[in-house]
């Protein structure tokens, strides 16, 4: 893969992460083919991008002209065929191995042979996703963090199947859109989640043990370790269901108690208390 990514990228999946990734690419001056198979989900994802750009203007992080230029580069589509001219496709579809493998396999017949395919998975094996491709050497992991518009890190995940040129191409793309690439191997949790997920679970266990209330635990960690946000508030931000899913994936891989999701988190998911996105988690956020 010697050719550069170019000025056109595809983003598959316009949920929270996909919309954020698409916005980052748009604000970097790239044209984005944004894909959702469902018209309603497509409209919702595009509306999320537009609303986020509006907030950026309100906060002085972008000008009205920059907002207009970004939206001019957005090409929503319900057809994967729209990715045919993309130098790279970044997938952020649901965190399900079969779904991601199916998408990667479909892309083989659509995008050029030298186009990069990147998965934003946070818990699944990038190697297993790449193995579904007829050309796994061009499949890498690009793990963005939520909110993608704000957090500067992207983990560039290398598999044993990936070519050196694909890894270099992925890192250049990350830098092109104003992010900082950090290289890592395809181990469960990569770097950040391997460390963060069990730490957040320990914070929940400290809460359950009666060590302190939620606000005190979060205050202790923000003031005592200079975290910008406390661990329980962070779980609310990323989503209680996301924390449970990531914990289960790491538990399956390592079989260490700290990785297993605490029972409290599972009960919260069953009750629909998913954090900020549902209006209630460890804290109340109002109806959503």
In this predicted structure, what is the pLDDT of residue 146?
Answer: 87
Q: Given the DSSP bridges, would you call strands 139-144 and 116-119 parallel, antiparallel or unpaired?
A: parallel
CATH 3.30.2420.10 fits 193-270, yes or no: no
Catalytic residue selected from 48, 70, 122, 278:
122
Beta-sheet pairing, 139-144 with 153-158: antiparallel
Q: Which of 48, 91, 95, 143 is catalytic?
A: 143
At 287 the pLDDT is 64
Q: What digits encode the pLDDT tens for the residues 3-54?
A: 457 799 999 999 999 999 999 999 999 999 999 999 999 999 999 999 999 9
pLDDT one-digit tens code per residue, 157-207: 999 999 999 999 999 999 999 999 999 999 999 999 999 999 999 999 999
pLDDT of res. 5? 74
Angle subtended by helix axes 192-208 and 214-225, to nearest 10:
140
Q: What is the mean pLDDT of residues 85-104?
A: 96
The reply to whether 193-270 shares the fold of 8-185 is no
Give me the pLDDT at residue 288, please: 55
How far is residue 38 from each of residues 19, 54, 76, 277, measured CA to CA in Å? 15, 24, 11, 21
Burial string for 239-268 (b: 16+ CB within 10 Å, else e) reads bbbbbbbbbebbbeebeeeebbbbeebeeb
Looking at residue 187, its pLDDT comes to 95
Q: 135, 155, 201, 247: which is the annotated catalytic residue? A: 155
201 is annotated as an active-site residue: no
* Spans of all domains in the chain: 8-185, 193-270
How far is CA 247 from each of CA 71, 93, 140, 201, 214, rounded to the nearest angstrom?
36, 19, 23, 8, 20
Task: Give the SS3 label for residue 257.
Answer: helix
Question: Is 137 noted as a catalytic residue in this protein?
Answer: no
Q: What is the dihedral of CA 219, 222, 225, 226, to 10 degrees?
A: -150
Run of H or E residues at 32: strand 31-35
Give the pair of three-digit tokens for residue 11.
């983003």
pLDDT band, residue 286 (cuts 50/70/90) = confident
Q: Which tens digit of pLDDT belongs to each residue from 59-81?
A: 999 999 999 999 999 999 999 99
Token pair listed for 288: 């959503």
Here the tokens at position 30 are 């790239």
What are 207-225's pLDDT values in tens digits?
999 999 999 999 999 999 9
Strand partners, 89: 10, 117
User: Choosing from 48, 133, 193, 247, which is the catalytic residue?
Assistant: 193
pLDDT for the residue 3: 44
Alpha helices in the chain (DSSP H): 16-27, 39-58, 64-72, 97-108, 126-130, 164-176, 192-208, 214-225, 231-238, 240-254, 263-270
Residue 151, Ramachandran bin (φ over 0: left; ψ between -120 and 50: alpha; else beta)? beta
Q: Is residue 245 among the annotated active site residues?
A: no
- One DSSP character per residue, 82-136 reads GGGG-SEEEE---S-HHHHHHHHHHHHTTS-TT-EEEE--SSS-HHHHHTTSS-G
pLDDT digits (tens, 9 = 90+) for 233-251: 999 998 999 999 999 999 9
Confirm whether 58 is a catalytic residue: no
* pLDDT tens sequence across 109-144: 999 999 999 999 988 999 999 999 999 999 999 999
Query: Is pLDDT of 253 > 50?
Result: yes
Residue 240's nearest CA partner among 207, 210, 209 is 207
Instruction: Tell me the CATH number of domain 8-185, given options 3.40.50.450, 3.40.50.720, 3.40.50.300, 1.10.486.10.
Output: 3.40.50.720
CA distances (Å), 151 to each of 154, 209, 243, in order? 9, 32, 18
Residue 29 has what DSSP assignment? T
């Amino acid at each position: 893969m010697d050719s550069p990514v170019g000025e056109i990228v595809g983003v598959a999946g316009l949920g929270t992460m996909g919309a954020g990734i698409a916005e980052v690419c748009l604000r970097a001056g790239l044209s984005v083919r944004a894909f959702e198979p469902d018209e309603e989900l497509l409209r919702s994802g595009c509306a999320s991008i537009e609303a986020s750009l509006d907030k950026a203007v309100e906060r002085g992080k972008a000008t009205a002209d920059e907002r207009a230029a970004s939206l001019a580069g957005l090409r929503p589509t319900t057809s994967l065929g729209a990715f045919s001219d993309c130098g790279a496709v970044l997938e952020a579809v649901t965190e399900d191995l079969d779904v991601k493998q199916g998408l990667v396999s479909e892309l083989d017949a659509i995008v050029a042979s030298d186009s990069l395919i990147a998965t934003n998975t946070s818990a699944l094996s990038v190697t297993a996703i790449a193995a579904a491709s007829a050309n796994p050497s061009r499949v890498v992991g690009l793990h963005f963090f939520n909110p993608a518009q704000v957090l500067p890190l992207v983990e560039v995940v290398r598999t044993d199947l990936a070519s050196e040129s694909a890894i270099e191409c992925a890192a250049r793309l990350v830098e092109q859109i104003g992010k900082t690439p950090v290289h890592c191997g395809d181990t469960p949790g990569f770097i950040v989640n391997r460390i963060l997920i069990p730490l957040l679970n320990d914070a929940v266990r400290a809460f359950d043990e009666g060590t302190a209330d939620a606000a005190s635990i979060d205050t202790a960690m923000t003031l005592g370790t200079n975290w910008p946000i406390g661990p329980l508030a962070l779980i609310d931000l990323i989503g209680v269901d996301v924390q449970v899913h990531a914990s289960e994936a790491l538990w399956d891989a390592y079989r260490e108690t700290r990785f297993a999701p605490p029972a409290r988190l599972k009960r919260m998911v069953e009750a629909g208390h998913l954090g900020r996105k549902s209006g209630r988690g460890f804290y109340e956020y109002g109806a959503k």
